[in-house]
Structure 1
Amino acid sequence: MKPVPALAATLAAALALSATAVVGLAAPASASSSEAASSPASASADPLESYRRQPLAWAACQDGQLAAAGAECASLTVPLDYREPRGRTLSLAVSRIRAADPAARRGILQTNPGGPGNRGLDMPVAVRAAMAPATAAAYDIIGMDPRGVGASGGLDCGLTRGSWLRSVGTDRAGFEQAWTLAEADADACWARYPDLLPHLTTRNTARDVDVLRAALGEQRTSFFGQSYGALLGAVYAQLYPGRVDRLVLDSTPDPARYGVRLFQDMGGANERALDDFAAWAAPRHATYGLGATPAAVRATVEGLVRRAQAAPIAIDGFLLDDRMLPFLLAVCQGDDRDDADYADVLRRLLDAADGKPVQAGPLLHELLSAVLTPSPEAGADLAAAIGILCDDVTVPHSPQWYRDAVERARPTQPVFGPVYNSPTPCASWRRTPAEPPVDVHPAVPALQLHATGDTHAPYQGALALHARMPASRLLTVPGRVHTVYLTGYSPCAARAVDTYLSTGALPPADAVC
């Protein structure tokens, strides 16, 4: 089990509105959603030409994992504001692992791990490790910490939590606390980065991807993205369709629901995941004592949340209340391969709630630490996630909107509705997006991978994106997992990715692995 969630996943995550309605990644009717490079005749007048032609000074990476993998690192200079390319600039950290066989080299494969806000500098190591040898031979694998993330001017807003997601509980005090914390997160970032925040958009990151492509001397780029990173890949393909070689989109959120509606979708997905887990746990009642029927297991979990409300659960020096317990449960149930670990966590928490002497064990201790006492790095990554998400989309600013959303969700989502409908820092954001988001419907070939039980990017979003990408193929993976290729969840899906990247051959039709 990976105890610390991928944000935006808590998209997570991941992953939009006017006053009361969410808008997706939609471009204005008067603007083109493609930003193709200038023609040769006008290249000399192109204000981005100096960025595209910049030399990259590659050197050994300072990160030990990258260095051990033989990666090189460099800095890429990009405009802070692409509308004013001769103004302030940003320095982005990029990495490269060269093709294993220079003679078989096809080109570059740019990557993004997700988030928004996840660091991508070391992603080439994981991608190379997952690849079949023939695929690794063909590509220079490129990583990048996106603008505002990690080594690319990463935000440090002084945040002391790793996610804004928390249950508002059942009383007004819980909601007010959630609102106050989210507002404080937004205010802390605006106090430190008023000039930077408006430019941390997905559209600008896609532009950075294209500047990097050009600086690497490539006419086209292949791209592998997972979670939010897959959404970034789809945005890139929309803006620069002629620059795309091969495109792999692993567990993409629905671009049209990116923002508040995506989080609301995650509430229902997590309730379904709890039911799925309950069906697994019931036949194992003799081992874990969670309930002999799926309904009994669910009742046990819901009862544990109520008990945490009445008296926070004390374990290993932590106090776990009903605000944070549902978020911890969501972290636990994201991958069905972890069901036994999830059951063990629940058993220990139940025993602790009963007042029994309980040791959390390494896994639960790490989970509690990540949820209740996150590291400064987790706070920095949360700041980056907030900056990107809130710059991309507009959300309702009325506390009543969120109260109403919670109450609408509560009857069918008793555990997770109060988490995924709670206020976000975007509700207190000080500016509307500087540019409209991108209307994602690229007419380029792509391979989509998606699991049916994904709790971070629900499967219905994959179907919606697939309908908007008629040249894509959707590979459906039965099961509960978020991101498929790098997790090793489906050998069938891994073979399809390697085949596509190696040969360019998409499956002849949509398929189920």
Structure 2
Amino acid sequence: MTPSRILGTAAAGLAATAALAAPATAGAAPNAAADGGLARFYSQHLDWKKCTLGPDDEVGRGLDEAGARCADVTVPLDYARPDGRTIKIAISRLAASDRAHRIGAMVLNGGGPGPAIDMPPYMRGIMGEAGPRYDLIGMDPRSLGRSAPVDCGWPSATWIRSAGETRRSFQRSVRFARDLAARCARTNGSVLPHISTRNIARDMDVVRGALGERKISYNGASYGTYLGAVYATMFPGRLDRTVLDSSVDPTRWGPSLLAGTESANDRALANWAAWAAKRDAEYGLGDTGAKVLAEVREIVKASARSPLEIGRYRVDDSLAPVVLFDYLGDDEDSARAVLAESVRVFGEAAAGRPARPTKDLDEELAFLTGGDESLYGSGQSAIICGDAAARRDPESYWRAVQRDRAASPVFGPLTQGINPCAFWPTGPREPLTKVGGRVPALMVAATGDTRTVYAANRALHGLLRGSRMITLTGADVHAPYQRGYRNDCMTRQVNGYLLTGRLPAGDLTCPPER
């Protein structure tokens, strides 16, 4: 869950909606009648077609070139009223190429929350010998991508902002969050009450039924682990082989999902600074880790005094920490080099010298400051704000920022800051799912994960009886399996499980391999 790309109804209505979570018997036929008048959705015929929607559709073109096909699955907007308005859930399918040894269908989710329809070709390459044996299913969650998208016309593709260095900066972040929420209230108010992870899980089960599968396998990372855990709890017995990569603590999921990640990000930043110091001749950020960290701190302070002028961008203290945060999700040399080059550009601007963004930094700043991908942030917020209520008093966020500022001056104001959920026009219609039960999943966790910290992974592991966890030690990386992180121990274990269905006898540890 790289957050910037990334982490109410009446009682009778709640009861009716909750009843719909209970599936038919786990071994029942996939199109058997479902409670609440849902049989027609489970038994619908899917019209598979080319994925490309137009001349500029790179996602669709990539899917078509890989041999995938796409379909729309009809689901109720409101599962408590299945005879009411419907929406379309977009899915892709890259059929198993080894049909003689086909294992089944596997639904993919890469976190965010974000679209996932594009994932099958990429994941087939990650999965080794197991890849050709699955029908790989990409599914855009409702509100995102091609699935009833929520686009609030935001001036930015993300809701993530730091509270900055000063009270004035914090007030600016409050106005920003309030404006984002108001835009969604004006443009999508009738849909927002029905956007939630529980409804996405219900959609996923309709997809399972429409595919004609008794069970589905699942491969989810970051937010995708939360969706997978919610699905497993709401629809017990419907999952086959399940991989959960960098897991969310389901008891802490909600609008403050970044809170508690400060220490992990501070450690990752210090580790990166030590790496950059060894390459001072290349990046000029300082010949010790302490000097590099001091340079970063001065850059953030400078951005508070006056926005950094970087090409066509103006980067203030609400944005500079977000860039740092985004680039700390991977500790491989190539990723660390991108951060070092970006900090070097920031340093030039902070010193008042002409600064031009690198290609990677230009893409990052375009995403953070432009409205071209408003759909992404709008849909992501709709899910997070629809799952759990946020604190409504802006001053409570200011107090939290001030409390953490001394210990984590760069990341505390970001992780504890305010977001649109504080002003969201609707409240959650259902409580958070109490995740639990027997789910023999294979989990992957890194001790230095900066998004879903290691403690969060352990928390979900404790809730899912029968699960096994692979721990990558000494790794500052988020979603290592789906990222294709260089660790043969991890990859071999996960792909072996996907191929054979046999979990390790116990939890495993994979040390660094570089």
TM-score, shorter chain, exceeding 0.5? yes
Q: Are 1:452 and 2:442 counterparts? A: no
Alignment partner for residue 182 of structure 1, among 172, 177, 184? Answer: 177
Give deviations 1:184-216, integer Å, cap 9, x for gaps: 111111111222111111001101111111111
Equivalent positions of 1:43-82 (< 5 A) are 43=33, 47-62=37-52, 63-82=60-79
- Residue 296 of structure 1 deviates from its aligned partner by 2.3
Q: 1:348 to 1:244 in 2, by over 3 A?
A: same
Equivalent positions of 1:109-508 (< 5 A) are 109-116=106-113, 118-133=114-129, 135-337=130-332, 338-372=335-369, 374-376=370-372, 378-478=373-473, 479-489=475-485, 490-508=487-505
**Alpha-carbon distance in 2 for matches of 1:215, 1:328:** 41
Q: 1:11 to 1:32 in 2, by over 3 A?
A: farther
Aligned to 1:20: none
Aligned to 2:56: none
**Alpha-carbon distance in 1 for matches of 2:34, 2:123:** 37
| Aligned 8 A contact 1:252 1:457 in 2 | yes
**Alpha-carbon distance in 2 for matches of 1:52, 1:470:** 29
Aligned to 1:84: 81
- Residue 229 of structure 1 deviates from its aligned partner by 1.0
Aligned to 1:35: 22
| Aligned 8 A contact 2:21 2:202 in 1 | no
Q: 1:257 to 1:203 in 2, by over 3 A?
A: same
**Alpha-carbon distance in 1 for matches of 2:35, 2:117:** 32
- Residue 359 of structure 1 deviates from its aligned partner by 3.5
| Aligned 8 A contact 2:245 2:482 in 1 | no
Give deviations 1:322-379, integer Å, cap 9, x for gaps: 221111111222211211222222122212322334443322322332223x352x21
| Aligned 8 A contact 2:445 2:471 in 1 | yes
**Alpha-carbon distance in 1 for matches of 2:71, 2:169:** 46
Q: 3-state DSSP class of the match of 1:241?
A: coil
What letter is aligned with 1:131? M
| Aligned 8 A contact 2:447 2:472 in 1 | yes
- Residue 34 of structure 1 deviates from its aligned partner by 6.2
- Residue 31 of structure 1 deviates from its aligned partner by 6.8
Q: 1:436 to 1:44 in 2, by over 3 A?
A: closer
**Alpha-carbon distance in 1 for matches of 2:491, 2:482:** 8
Q: 3-state DSSP class of the match of 2:243?
A: strand
Q: 1:79 to 1:203 in 2, by over 3 A?
A: same
**Alpha-carbon distance in 1 for matches of 2:247, 2:218:** 13
| Aligned 8 A contact 1:126 1:486 in 2 | no
**Alpha-carbon distance in 2 for matches of 1:44, 1:259:** 30
What letter is aligned with 1:386? S
Q: 1:321 to 1:37 in 2, by over 3 A?
A: same
Q: 1:431 to 1:348 in 2, by over 3 A?
A: closer
TM-score (norm 1): 0.91
**Alpha-carbon distance in 1 for matches of 2:306, 2:292:** 21
- Residue 486 of structure 1 deviates from its aligned partner by 2.5
- Residue 253 of structure 1 deviates from its aligned partner by 1.4
| Aligned 8 A contact 1:394 1:426 in 2 | yes
What letter is aligned with 2:2? A
Identity %: 41
Greater displacement, 447-456 / 38-47: 38-47
- Residue 38 of structure 1 deviates from its aligned partner by 5.7
Greater relative contact order (Cα 8 A, min sep 6): structure 1 or 2?
1
Give deviations 1:395-434, integer Å, cap 9, x for gaps: 1100111011100110111001111111111101122211
Q: Are 1:103 and 2:100 counterparts? A: yes
| Aligned 8 A contact 1:33 1:239 in 2 | no
- Residue 297 of structure 1 deviates from its aligned partner by 1.9
- Residue 144 of structure 1 deviates from its aligned partner by 1.1
What letter is aligned with 1:347? R
The gaps in structure 1 that reach 5 residues or longer are: 1-7, 15-26
**Alpha-carbon distance in 2 for matches of 1:356, 1:186:** 37
CA RMSD of aligned residues (A): 2.2
**Alpha-carbon distance in 2 for matches of 1:209, 1:508:** 30
The gaps in structure 2 that reach 5 residues or longer are: 8-13, 53-59
- Residue 278 of structure 1 deviates from its aligned partner by 1.8
- Residue 277 of structure 1 deviates from its aligned partner by 1.1
| Aligned 8 A contact 1:33 1:439 in 2 | no
- Residue 301 of structure 1 deviates from its aligned partner by 0.9
Q: 3-state DSSP class of the match of 1:255?
A: coil
- Residue 172 of structure 1 deviates from its aligned partner by 2.2
**Alpha-carbon distance in 2 for matches of 1:450, 1:379:** 31
**Alpha-carbon distance in 2 for matches of 1:31, 1:46:** 10
Q: 1:277 to 1:33 in 2, by over 3 A?
A: farther
**Alpha-carbon distance in 2 for matches of 1:320, 1:137:** 45
Give deviations 1:71-123, integer Å, cap 9, x for gaps: 1111101111111111111111111011111111121101112112x111111
| Aligned 8 A contact 1:38 1:46 in 2 | no
| Aligned 8 A contact 1:305 1:325 in 2 | yes
- Residue 149 of structure 1 deviates from its aligned partner by 1.0
- Residue 178 of structure 1 deviates from its aligned partner by 0.8
Q: 1:46 to 1:358 in 2, by over 3 A?
A: closer
Q: 1:363 to 1:46 in 2, by over 3 A?
A: closer
Aligned to 2:57: none
What letter is aligned with 1:362? K
What letter is aligned with 1:220? K
What letter is aligned with 1:350? G
**Alpha-carbon distance in 1 for matches of 2:145, 2:344:** 37
| Aligned 8 A contact 2:21 2:235 in 1 | yes
- Residue 12 of structure 1 deviates from its aligned partner by 6.0
**Alpha-carbon distance in 1 for matches of 2:274, 2:440:** 38
What letter is aligned with 2:416? N
**Alpha-carbon distance in 1 for matches of 2:188, 2:238:** 33
Q: 3-state DSSP class of the match of 2:100?
A: helix
What letter is aligned with 1:68? E
What letter is aligned with 1:69? A
